[in-house]
């Protein structure tokens, strides 16, 4: 979904503020929320993609106004309510994809704008890049977050020139890599 969580290259957020001697958890409740997430995920109440998507579904203003663990708490509440705190035994159908690309291949990212969950950032859509390395295979979040299947695909680290992503605003001598599932990519015929 095209949500405020997809923050790459958005402006207006201000300076990076670094807290010195930061504790692992700032309050007891943060640690409880962290631990609950880990336990519920391990127990199979939800998967990581569903958990991320539950955060992304927060209203945009609330997402931005919430701290990291506030978003986690809200996502846990959402998922516990939606599942009725019952673990589903339904097995998702698994589909495996052949490896289509090799390091050095030129690719272009698809201009996908799904209403649901995706891990293709907006700033990286419709851009030309080069396959740097192959990883996984890993389960595609786009279907996993919706319990619509387990699509096990290669993930590629794709390298982009800064100018391809940022145009004239690109800083000198920068390259970016984004880790992308195979179905986010097409061969670059140009």
17 contacts other proteins (rule: CB under 8 A): yes
Residue whose CB is less far from other proteins, 92 or 134: 134
Q: How far is the CB of 26 from other proteins (least distance, A)?
A: 8
Q: Give all strands of the β-sheet with 150-161 in edge-to-edge order.
A: 94-96, 150-161, 128-139, 106-109, 185-187
14 contacts other proteins (rule: CB under 8 A): yes
For residues 159 and 107, is the Cβ–Cβ distance under 8 A?
A: no
57 contacts other proteins (rule: CB under 8 A): no
61 contacts other proteins (rule: CB under 8 A): no
**Which tokens belong to 36?**
């609950």
Cα gap 73→55, rounded to integer Å: 9
Among 110, 127, 157, 163, binds other proteins (CB under 8 A): 157
Among 2, 64, 95, 126, binds other proteins (CB under 8 A): 64
Beta bridge partners of 120: none
Q: How far is the CB of 98 from other proteins (least distance, A)?
A: 18
Helices assigned H by DSSP within 2-67? 28-43, 48-56, 60-65
Q: How far is the CB of 99 from other proteins (least distance, A)?
A: 15
Residues 79-138 that bind other proteins (CB under 8 A): 80, 85, 87, 119-121, 123-124, 135-136, 138
Instruction: Give the SS3 label for residue 154.
Output: strand
**Which tokens belong to 79?**
């998922």
Give DSSP secondary structure letters for 110-134: -----SS---S-GGGTT-EEEEEEE
Residues found near other proteins in the complex (CB under 8 A): 5-11, 13-19, 22, 24-25, 27-29, 31-36, 38-40, 43, 45, 52, 55, 64, 68, 70, 73, 76-77, 80, 85, 87, 119-121, 123-124, 135-136, 138, 155, 157, 165-166, 169-181
């Amino acid at each position: 979904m095209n949500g405020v969580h997809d923050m790459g290259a958005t402006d207006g957020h201000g300076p990076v503020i670094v807290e010195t001697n930061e504790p692992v958890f700032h309050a007891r409740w943060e640690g409880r929320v962290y631990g609950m997430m880990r336990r519920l995920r391990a127990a199979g109440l939800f998967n990581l993609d569903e958990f991320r998507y539950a955060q992304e579904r927060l209203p945009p203003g609330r997402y931005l106004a919430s701290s990291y663990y506030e978003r986690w708490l809200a996502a846990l509440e959402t998922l516990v309510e939606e599942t009725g705190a019952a673990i589903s035994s339904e097995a998702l159908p698994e589909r495996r994809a052949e490896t289509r690309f090799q390091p050095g291949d030129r690719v272009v990212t698809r201009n996908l704008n799904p209403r649901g969950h995706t891990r293709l950032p907006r700033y990286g859509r419709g851009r030309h890049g080069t396959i740097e390395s192959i990883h996984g295979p890993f389960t595609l979040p786009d279907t996993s977050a919706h319990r619509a299947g387990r699509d096990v695909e290669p993930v590629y680290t794709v390298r982009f020139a800064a100018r391809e992503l940022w145009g004239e605003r690109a800083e000198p001598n920068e390259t970016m890599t984004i880790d992308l599932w195979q179905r986010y990519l097409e061969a670059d015929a140009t």
